[in-house]
Structure 1
Amino acid sequence: MSAQPIHPHPEPDRVPRNAEGIAAALEGERRMEFYRTLPTRSVAAAIARRQAAGLPVE
């Protein structure tokens, strides 16, 4: 007797761990809410914030 399932389950779709991937996985109102609460900033602002915190900027 085997412990393997008779009908294997397909692997779930992987969602990329970035804003575009997450938004693509959401539908309708949930996607709109994600975009409304998503903090955005420029690259220059992100670099300045990391430098101010003493973090590496590589």
Structure 2
Amino acid sequence: MSVQPVHRDQAGDGERVPRTIDGIAGALTASRRMEFYRQLGTAPLEQAEAVLRHWWCEAMLDTDPDGDRITVATLDGTLPLASVQSVLARRQARGLPVE
């Protein structure tokens, strides 16, 4: 299994999509926003954070300025990949969660 690197916003001052309910909702299309709110609203409290993480990832993908290029490279088989082990090691080195 391989993963894509996460790109920061162009200004370099954080992520394109704030890690908040409003930030995530604002980055999604209307139909996806309704599904986000539905899932968040019906999730048990102990699963709410997982729902937010999932939809934040979706919002980041939806707003990626390189999204079309990445899609083409994926379909062409030319997308550079990283191993899960290397990503986990990099996250651990930065003190980030690896759950």
User: TM > 0.5 between the two?
Assistant: no
Which structure has the larger Rg over C-alpha atoms? 1
The structure with the largest strand share of the pair is 2
Q: Which band: TM-score by shorter chain? A: 0.3 to 0.5
TM-score, structure 1 as length reference: 0.44
TM-score, structure 2 as length reference: 0.27
